[in-house]
C-alpha cells in the first residue's frame, strides 16, 4: 500500500532523459569532475557528496558517464590520502571530510565502481578513530543546525555510523551502538532532527523508539509548507536541502501518510529544479551564495528524487 501511495504521488513525473533525476544526474556528471581539474584538490562537496549521488544513480540502474566519477573513484580508493583535503575555510574540517569521502566510497562499492572492499575497511578504521567518547562524531565548531555541505553533528554521526555498518557491523558494533545511543538521546526540534531519527532504521523494537518516530513524523507533518517543501524549522520557508532530507526520511518509513508527504516533497523539488538540472544552494543563513552548498544541495536533492522515482522509469543516457 505504501508503494502505491508513493507511486500515485509521482505518477505524472516525466520519464527518460528529461526526467528530473536524469537531468540532475547529467548536471552532476559534468560538475563533479570539474572541481578537481580547476582547483587541484579533491573536495568533500564534489568528490564526496556529488560523487555519492552519482554512484547511487548507477546502483539503481541509471546510465552515468564514466567521466563523471572516474576522478572521484581514483581519489576515494586511497583513504590514507584524504587527510587535509576537505576544502578551505568552513569546509576544512577533516573529520567531516573523512565522513563524506567514506560515505561516497561506500556508494562506489555498492555501484561496483570500486571492487576492493578493503578500501572501505581502511576508511572505516580511520573514521572510527574520530568518534568522540559520547558516541558522536564531533565536528569543528559548535553543535548547531547543519547544512548540505557541513552536515551538523547529528547528520555526520548518522553518516559515519552507517559507513561503519556497511564496512563491518561485527567489528564496529561497540562504536555503532554508542553512536545509536547518542542519536537516540537527541531532542527532536528541527526538520533535520526528525529526518535523522527516521533515517536511523536499526532499532524499531527498542522501548521509546516508537514514540520518537511518532514525534519525528508529527514534526514533519506540521512543518510541510503549502507547496510541499520543508525549511529547517517548523515555520521556516522551504529549502531544497531540508526538503530532500525530509523526503529521504519519509520515503524510508513504509508509512502510507508519510509516502504521500514524500510525494509532495518530490514535487516541490521538481518545481524548484533549475534549468541546469541543479538546485539553488541551501545556506545558513538563507540567501547566501556558495558553490560548495550548491553542489551538496544538488546532491541531496538528487538522492531524494532517485529514491522516489516512479517504478519502471527508464534509465537515462549519457
Task: For residue range 134-143, list pLDDT tens digits in order.
Answer: 999 999 988 9
How far is C-alpha 302 from the chain's CA centre?
9
Whole-number pLDDT of residue 208 = 85
* Between 207 and 300, residue with greater pLDDT: 300
Using CA atoms, how far apart are residues 232 and 186, in angstroms rounded to an integer? 16
Contacts of 101 (CB under 8 A, 6+ apart): 42, 44, 47, 48, 75, 76, 79, 82, 123
Nearest to 66 by CA among 56, 76, 58: 58
d(CA 263, CA 267): 6
Whether the per-residue pLDDT at 301 is higher than 60: the answer is yes
Q: Indicate whether 104 pLDDT > 60.
A: yes
Look at residue 318 in the predicted model and tell me its pLDDT. Answer: 46
**pLDDT above 60 for 316:** no
What are the residues whose beta carbons fall under 8 Å from the beta carbon of 296, sequence distance 6 or more?
45, 49, 50, 147, 148, 149, 241, 281
7 confidence band (pLDDT: 50, 70, 90): very low
Mean pLDDT of the chain: 92
Residue with grid cell 510541499, as numbered in its chain:
228
- pLDDT band, residue 84 (cuts 50/70/90): low
pTM of the model: 0.93
Distances (CA, A) of 12 to 171, 230, 248, 256, 316: 45, 22, 20, 19, 18
pLDDT of residue 40: 86
pLDDT higher than threshold 90 for residue 4: no
Task: Please give the domain boundaries of the chain with CATH numbers for all domains.
Answer: 2-308 (1.50.10.20)
pLDDT in the model for residue 48? 98
User: What pLDDT shows up at residue 30?
Assistant: 98
Assess contact for 239 and 286: CB atoms under 8 A.
Answer: yes
**What pLDDT does 1 receive?**
44
Model pLDDT, residue 14: 73
DSSP secondary structure letter of residue 290:
-
Amino acid at each position: 500500500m505504501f508503494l502505491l501511495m508513493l507511486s500515485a504521488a509521482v505518477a505524472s513525473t516525466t520519464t527518460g532523459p528529461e526526467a528530473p533525476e536524469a537531468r540532475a544526474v547529467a548536471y552532476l556528471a559534468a560538475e563533479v569532475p570539474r572541481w578537481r581539474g580547476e582547483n587541484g584538490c579533491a573536495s568533500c562537496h564534489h568528490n564526496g557528496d556529488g560523487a555519492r549521488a552519482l554512484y547511487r544513480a548507477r546502483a539503481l540502474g541509471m546510465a552515468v558517464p564514466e567521466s563523471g566519477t572516474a576522478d572521484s573513484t581514483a581519489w576515494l580508493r586511497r583513504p590514507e590520502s584524504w587527510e587535509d583535503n576537505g576544502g578551505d575555510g568552513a569546509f576544512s574540517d577533516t573529520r567531516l571530510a573523512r565522513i563524506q569521502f567514506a560515505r561516497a566510497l561506500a556508494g562506489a562499492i555498492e555501484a561496483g565502481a570500486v571492487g576492493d572492499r578493503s578500501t572501505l575497511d581502511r576508511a572505516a578504521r580511520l573514521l572510527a578513530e574520530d568518534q568522540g567518547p559520547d558516541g558522536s562524531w564531533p565536528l569543528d565548531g559548535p553543535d548547531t543546525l547543519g547544512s548540505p555541505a557541513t552536515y551538523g553533528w547529528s547528520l555526520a554521526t548518522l553518516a559515519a555510523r552507517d559507513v561503519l555498518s556497511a564496512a563491518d557491523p561485527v567489528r564496529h558494533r561497540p562504536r555503532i551502538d554508542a553512536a545509536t545511543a547518542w542519536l537516540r538521546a537527541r531532542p527532536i526540534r528541527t526538520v533535520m532532527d526528525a529526518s535523522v531519527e527516521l533515517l536511523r532504521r536499526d532499532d524499531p523494537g527498542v522501548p521509546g523508539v516508537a514514540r520518537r518516530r511518532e514525534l519525528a513524523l508529527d514534526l514533519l507533518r506540521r512543518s510541510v509548507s503549502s507547496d510541499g517543501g520543508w525549511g529547517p524549522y517548523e515555520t521556516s520557508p522551504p529549502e531544497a536541502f531540508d526538503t530532500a532530507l525530509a523526503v529521504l526520511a519519509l520515503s524510508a518509513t513504509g508509512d502510507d501518510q508519510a509516502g504521500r508527504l514524500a510525494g509532495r516533497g518530490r514535487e516541490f523539488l521538481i518545481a524548484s529544479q533549475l534549468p541546469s538540472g541543479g538546485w539553488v544552494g541551501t545556506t545558513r543563513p538563507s540567501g547566501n551564495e556558495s558553490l560548495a552548498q550548491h553542489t551538496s544541495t544538488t546532491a541531496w536533492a538528487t538522492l531524494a528524487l532517485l529514491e522516489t522515482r516512479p517504478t519502471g522509469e527508464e534509465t537515462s543516457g549519457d
